[in-house]
Amino acid sequence: MTNLKTTDKENSSTRLDKWLWAARFYRTRAIAKQMIDGGKVFYNGQRTKSGKAVSIGDTIKVRQGFEEKEVTVIALADKRKDAGFAQTLYEESTNSLATREKNALARKQGILLSPASDTKPDKKQRRKLREFKERI
Domain boundaries, the chain: 9-114
Fold adopted by 9-114: 3.10.290
Residue 2, pLDDT score = 40
Candidates 71, 67, 70; CA nearest to 106 is 67
| pTM assigned to the model | 0.72
Amino acid at 35: M
Amino acid at 42: F
Residue 94, pLDDT score = 94
For residue 4, pLDDT over 70 is answered with no
Residue 11, pLDDT score = 53
For residue 107, pLDDT over 90 is answered with no
The answer to whether the beta carbons of residues 41 and 16 sit under 8 Å apart is yes
What is the dihedral sign for C-alpha 39, 97, 84, 64?
Answer: negative
The answer to whether the beta carbons of residues 121 and 129 sit under 8 Å apart is yes
Buried/exposed code over 19-49 (b: 16+ C-beta within 10 A; e: otherwise): bbbbbbbbeebeebbebbeeebbbbeeeebe
